[in-house]
Amino acid sequence: MFYYVVRRIIYIIPISLAVSLVCFLLVHIAPGDPIDAMVAPDTPPVVIEQVRAQFGLDQPLPVQFGIWLAKVVQGDLGNSLIKGRPIAADLLSASANTFILAMTGGLLGVLIGCVFGGIAGVYRGTWIDRVLLGTAVAGVSVPHYWLGMVMVIIFSVNLNLLPAMGAGPGGSTEWAWDWAHIQFLILPSITLCVIPAGLVTRTVRGLVSDIMSQDFITTLRGKGLRRSGIINHVIQNAAPTVLAVIGLQLANLMGGSILVETVFAWPGTGMMLNNAIFQRDIPVLQATTLVLALFFVVLNLVVDLIQTAIDPRIIRR
């Protein structure tokens, strides 16, 4: 077990390196000279050559990767082409906003998914199961950016209940847990929760109905446990896997909220990405992708370790 944990932690080093490499190459798969992606279009040639030397772009690719990586490790994610200032600070506050949205939407989705999935699994094969499963399939099929628009039309345009855009009154991007801010969070997080709710419903339903069909459930019935006692066993059997799924859903939403953020003008990493794409600000695209992917790698690790720790069936050496 101890060796597994150590090995698992060490394993994220090569993975992180590879992830960094992919992000580094993003600049180079962009059409044209990478230098064009790093300086404003009207920069004089002399300056361009200076920048080229400064970023080591006259060096072979592996060397460039080394230089870039060394900077990243020191927290230097480069400068935005548009704003001309370091990306790291903007990215930090955007990440915080995305985190708030992803966690709220994710937890909401997970909650709905566990309840729906649990009920569907227990009542497998009945009409309740079919209705819930159908709802879940619809849920994973929703283009959430469209759902966001529908929500805005209903709750902002028609009913005038909730704000349609932004993350705070007067376009503020500083988050606070008061109603003035929370009302901005409601529509985006409901929109964001639909897909994870559907996915978690299906997973939990499959898990629960698998567990319910196992031999030991007959044993539990045979020793006289009531329904609540049996459900307690089902929950404890499902818990490790469900936790893993929840962790992955939350991690996935950190990178997957870009479309919802765009619809609601939520000032997070997704909107940053969207703006970067729109303005062809490749360094910002690169840095944002890198940070989100590394976050995803670390969360995967945490989920895996928690699962190993709480599931007695998993024996790892």
Report whether 184 contacts 101 (CB < 8 A).
no
Kindly write out the interface string for residues 119-138 of this chain, putting x where it contacts other proteins by CB under 8 A and - elsewhere.
---------------x--xx
Residue 229 interacting with other proteins (CB under 8 A)? yes
Report the nearest approach of other proteins to the CB of residue 106 (Å). 11
Segment 235 to 254, residues that bind other proteins, using CB under 8 A: 236-237, 240, 245, 248-249, 251-254
Burial of 144: CB neighbours in 10 Å, binned 0-12, 13-18, 19+ = buried
Residue 15 interacting with other proteins (CB under 8 A)? yes
Q: Return the bridge partners of 46, or none.
A: none
Residue 160 interacting with other proteins (CB under 8 A)? no
Interface with other proteins (CB under 8 A), residue total 80
Smaller CB separation from other proteins, 100 or 293: 293
CA distances from 113 to 49, 143, 144, 293 (A): 55, 18, 17, 25
Long-range pairs for 12-15: beta carbons < 8 A, 24 or more residues apart:
12/297, 12/298, 12/301, 15/297
Instruction: Dig out the tokens for 28 from the structure.
Output: 């180079």
Q: Which stretch binds other proteins (CB under 8 A): 40-48, 50-58, 84-92, 146-154?
A: 146-154
Interface residue with other proteins, options 27, 77, 167, 194 (CB under 8 A): 27
Report the nearest approach of other proteins to the CB of residue 77 (Å). 15
Kindly write out the interface string for residues 166-205 of this chain, putting x where it contacts other proteins by CB under 8 A and - elsewhere.
-----------------------------x---x--xx--
Residue 143 interacting with other proteins (CB under 8 A)? yes
Residue 13 interacting with other proteins (CB under 8 A)? no
Separation between Cα atoms, residue 54 and residue 262, nearest integer Å: 34
Rg (CA), the chain: 24
Smaller CB separation from other proteins, 187 or 253: 253
CA distances from 11 to 18, 294, 295, 301 (A): 11, 13, 15, 9
Length of the chain, in residues: 317
Report the nearest approach of other proteins to the CB of residue 197 (Å). 12
Instruction: Dig out the tokens for 222 from the structure.
Output: 């045979």
Report the nearest approach of other proteins to the CB of residue 44 (Å). 25
Q: Which stretch binds other proteins (CB under 8 A): 52-60, 72-80, 85-93, 255-263?
A: 255-263
Residue 54 interacting with other proteins (CB under 8 A)? no
Instruction: Give the count of beta carbons closer than 10 Å to the beta carbon of residue 263.
Output: 22
Residues 6 or more apart from 68 whose CB is under 8 A from it? 24, 55, 56
